[in-house]
Amino acid sequence: MLKIYSSSELTPQLRARLLQRSSSEDREALAIVQAILDEIAAEGLVALKRISERLDGVAPDPFLVTPEEFEEAELALSSEIKQAFQTAYQNIKSFHAFQRKMLEDQKTTVCTSTLGYMYRPVERVAVYVPGGKAFYPSSVLMGVVPARIAGVSHITLLTPPGRDGKIHPAVLYCARLAGANAVLKAGGAHGVAAAYHGLLTPPAELIIGPGNRYVTAAKNLLASTGRVRIDQPAGPSEVIVIADNTARPAFVAADLLSQAEHGEDSPCILLTDSLVLAERVSEEIAKGLDERPERRSMKETSIREHSYAVVFETLDEAIAFSNDYGPEHLEIATEKPERDLEKITAAGSVFLGHYAPVALGDYFSGTNHILPTGGAARMFSGVGVDTFMKRITYQYPTRESLRKALEPIRIMSKVEGLDQEHGHSVEVRFEGEKDRSPSQG
């Protein structure tokens, strides 16, 4: 069922192919989206209505979710569903509050001057959550909770409505629970543009959250102006499981199929030092597809076209492969997972041990599930409290430390051709200093 490679077969070419994911500039989407952005920039709300009707089949009136709709959503949900999301919310809040506490303002002394930095929240944020056909209330929590903990002043949740102009009650429930300030019923490029221009909410300075190719293109085009920050582009969800012979084939197979449930282009990869395990996982996948037939063709395509196992001589080789891959999700189902974790240099979120299915982090444990995909984990972090903050550096030099800097600054600024004013701005502070020194020294 699962294609199994031996590490001895891995030529550099094959290795490169296995590491590669499909992703490229989407020029078609960029062109389509540019036109939408231009319409919204020129005509504002009028264009938003027109484009919503054209693309979503509805222009909600009003676009912003009303207090009554929030009430209705709460009534529409069973207490069991509400309880489940509440518990998840508490865990997500706990972990992100811990992250916030660790982002402390700091200062030190360099060359007798005080140098420091402080973290401050971004003020106006939009969190994009896909919608329309499927609903992701868990993603609402993952985007809004850390923003709220960071201290963001205004959080707009951006999500496309159904054809009836409504948003799924669990999405609204989670939006209120997590503390979104507004829910804007608009998705796609037009929704992103509406948030950016502040048509109905304060203009967003940071737009995060995965969306389709048009959402991605809109974020990229707006980011290129330097007036808004975005997170990294989102691609198909993916998992690597690094497992040794202490792993249970049925567990590993379940976790791979769980990833395949996300879409037919999801890579589900097993890296192991045990051929027996790889073979048994493959059997369990076949069994699982028979026993749990929902979305079967999607799961089969994902396993057949995008997934594989590699059997290495050692676990360290498996880890090295995984680091080159930079998986969004990484399970380490080995005898000593904490030891192996130390060797990980790139991954979005890591799941340690035999009781750590990715589903736990998708929904419940408290870690974030908005993560870099397609190898972006090699250079990007997943969403966290720091996503919603910036670091402001400062310095409080003493007079003496500035005096020591005088000569070096004169020399260095001269090399750069900036000596006249840069040099002078230091010198002027030591001219005729005795009779006119300000109080601070």
Nearer to its own copies, 96 or 185 (CB): 96
Q: CA dist 405 to 111, 395, 411, 415, 440, Å?
A: 10, 14, 10, 16, 18
Binding of residue 301 to its own copies (CB under 8 A): no
Instruction: Give DSSP secondary structure letters for 380-426.
Output: ---S-GGGGEEEEEEEE--HHHHHHHHHHHHHHHHHTT-HHHHHHHH
Binding of residue 236 to its own copies (CB under 8 A): no
**Residue 90 labeled ligand binder:** no
Residues 6+ apart with CB under 8 A from 426: 402, 405, 406, 409, 410
Q: How far apart are CA 326 and CA 306, in angstroms?
A: 16
Answer yes or no: are the C-beta atoms of 241 and 256 closer than 8 Å: yes
Footprint of its own copies on 240-259 (CB under 8 A):
246-248, 250-251, 254-255, 257-258
Which residue is listed with tokens 């340690």? 352
Binding of residue 376 to its own copies (CB under 8 A): yes
Active site residues: 328-329
**Residue 123 labeled ligand binder:** no
Binding of residue 351 to its own copies (CB under 8 A): yes
Residues 6+ apart with CB under 8 A from 66: none
Footprint of its own copies on 66-125 (CB under 8 A):
80-81, 83-85, 87-88, 91, 94-95, 98-99, 102, 104, 106, 108, 110-111, 113, 115, 117-118, 120-123
User: 128, 135, 196, 214: which one contacts its own copies (CB under 8 A)?
Assistant: 135
Rg (CA), the chain: 26
Footprint of its own copies on 141-170 (CB under 8 A):
168, 170
Binding of residue 212 to its own copies (CB under 8 A): no
Q: How far apart are CA 146 and CA 370, in angstroms?
A: 11
Nearer to its own copies, 138 or 181 (CB): 138
Binding of residue 398 to its own copies (CB under 8 A): yes
User: 223, 279, 280, 283: which one contacts its own copies (CB under 8 A)?
Assistant: 223
Binding of residue 189 to its own copies (CB under 8 A): no
Q: Which two tokens stand for residue 186?
A: 């608009």
Residues 6+ apart with CB under 8 A from 289: 1, 257, 296, 299, 300, 303
Binding of residue 55 to its own copies (CB under 8 A): no
Nearest to 306 by CA among 260, 346, 350, 250: 260
**Residue 422 labeled ligand binder:** yes
Footprint of its own copies on 56-75 (CB under 8 A):
none
Answer yes or no: are the C-beta atoms of 375 and 325 closer than 8 Å: yes
Binding of residue 314 to its own copies (CB under 8 A): no
Q: How far apart are CA 218 and CA 199, in angstroms?
A: 16
Nearer to its own copies, 5 or 117 (CB): 117
Taking the complex as a whole, the smallest distance from the CB of residue 177 to its own copies amounts, in Å, to 13
**Residue 362 labeled ligand binder:** yes
Footprint of its own copies on 15-44 (CB under 8 A):
23-26, 30
Answer yes or no: are the C-beta atoms of 256 and 307 closer than 8 Å: yes
Instruction: Using CB under 8 A, count the residues that bind its own copies.
Output: 149
Taking the complex as a whole, the smallest distance from the CB of residue 52 to its own copies amounts, in Å, to 23
Taking the complex as a whole, the smallest distance from the CB of residue 317 to its own copies amounts, in Å, to 18
Nearest to 298 by CA among 134, 56, 167, 138: 134
Taking the complex as a whole, the smallest distance from the CB of residue 10 to its own copies amounts, in Å, to 20
Which residues make up each annotated binding site?
237, 259, 262, 329, 362, 416, 422
Binding site for substrate, by residue number, is 237, 259, 262, 329, 362, 416, 422
